[in-house]
């Protein structure tokens, strides 16, 4: 049996890299993507770890705000690994500011990266998935795709849009072997969240430990970070036959955030 191919966007660190590792462990060829030049990405020790699982691993530098870059990403994948069977839209950026102070260019960048890029990757992946009658599209949204927080208008708008997009495409593919779902993590200790902790340390003169505890306790009743590995294993489950009839779902993995 020919190994399936997964494209994971924004996969040089954090959640995306954990997802890529878990998919490789489970026998998929993986195309990594990020903004780093190829020589830097390939020099990452984790790149060798990915390759050690016996599947093919490639990297392609692409700015997902640019639709032509996304087109080139798919051309590269087809040439190196074959068509995309599993698409994980993980790339995301964040900025925090009151809406009247929000830089227009950052609003545009956040919407382009977190939402519009998923439209372009999905439209390019779906034709082959349909022709093979099998595929998985998994959008890494956020708990902020289901509820809001202040000063995050662009991120919340993009992630709400991504959840809605997920549901719509899931309905369009409901009678096929292609499933489309979203995962909505709460606080994960990614570089985006690390910046928020660091800002509390600096602005409120808190210790790192207290700033972290305050961040978690305000939203996440478990007071524990969701881990990239937990998200990765949920992605792998959604790729399994057990998930064949999970369609259009928005799985919150959030330490109880939405249960409140």
How many C-alpha atoms does 85 have within 13 Å on its Cβ side?
Answer: 20
Instruction: Count CB neighbours of 256 within 10 A.
Output: 14
Q: Which candidate in 47, 60, 155, 208 is catalytic? A: 155
Known active-site residue 155 = yes
d(CA 73, CA 232): 22
- 4 DSSP 8-state letter: P
Buried b (16+ CB within 10 A) or exposed e, 47-57: beebeebebbb
Look at the block and give the residue holding tokens 């993590």.
185
Tell me the CA end-to-end span of the chain in Å, nearest whole number.
Answer: 46
Residue 185 φ/ψ, nearest 5 degrees: -75, 150
| Kind of pairing between the strands at 29-34 and 5-8 | parallel
**How do the residues of the chain divide into helix, strand and coil, expressed in percent and rounded to 5?**
55, 15, 30
Contact residues for 27 (Cβ-Cβ < 8 A; gap 6+)? 3, 4, 53, 54, 55
Contact residues for 44 (Cβ-Cβ < 8 A; gap 6+)? 12
* Helices 117-132 + 153-172 axis angle, to 10: 20
| Residues annotated as catalytic (active site), given as ranges | 155
């Amino acid at each position: 049996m020919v190994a399936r191919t997964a494209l994971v966007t924004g996969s040089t660190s954090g959640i995306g890299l954990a997802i890529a590792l878990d998919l490789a462990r489970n026998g998929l060829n993986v195309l990594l993507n990020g903004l780093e030049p190829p020589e830097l990405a390939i020099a990452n020790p984790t790149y060798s770890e990915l390759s050690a699982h016996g599947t093919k691993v490639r990297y392609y530098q692409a700015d997902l705000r640019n639709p032509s870059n996304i087109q080139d990403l798919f051309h590269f994948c087809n040439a190196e690994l074959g068509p995309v069977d599993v698409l994980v839209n993980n790339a995301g950026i964040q900025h925090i500011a009151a809406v009247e102070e929000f830089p227009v260019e950052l609003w545009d960048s956040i919407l382009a990266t977190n939402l519009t890029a998923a439209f372009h990757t999905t439209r390019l992946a779906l034709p082959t998935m349909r022709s093979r009658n099998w595929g998985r599209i998994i959008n890494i949204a956020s708990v902020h795709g289901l509820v809001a927080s202040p000063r995050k208008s662009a991120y919340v708008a993009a992630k709400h849009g991504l959840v809605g997009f997920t549901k719509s495409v899931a309905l369009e593919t409901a009678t096929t072997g292609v499933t489309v779902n979203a995962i909505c993590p709460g606080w994960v200790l990614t570089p985006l969240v690390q910046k928020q902790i660091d800002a509390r340390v600096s602005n409120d003169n808190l210790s790192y430990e207290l700033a972290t505890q305050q961040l978690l306790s305000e939203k996440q009743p478990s007071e524990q970070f969701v881990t990239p590995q937990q998200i990765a294993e949920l992605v792998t489950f959604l790729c399994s036959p057990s998930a064949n009839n999970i369609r259009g779902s928005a799985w919150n993995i959030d330490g109880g955030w939405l249960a409140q």
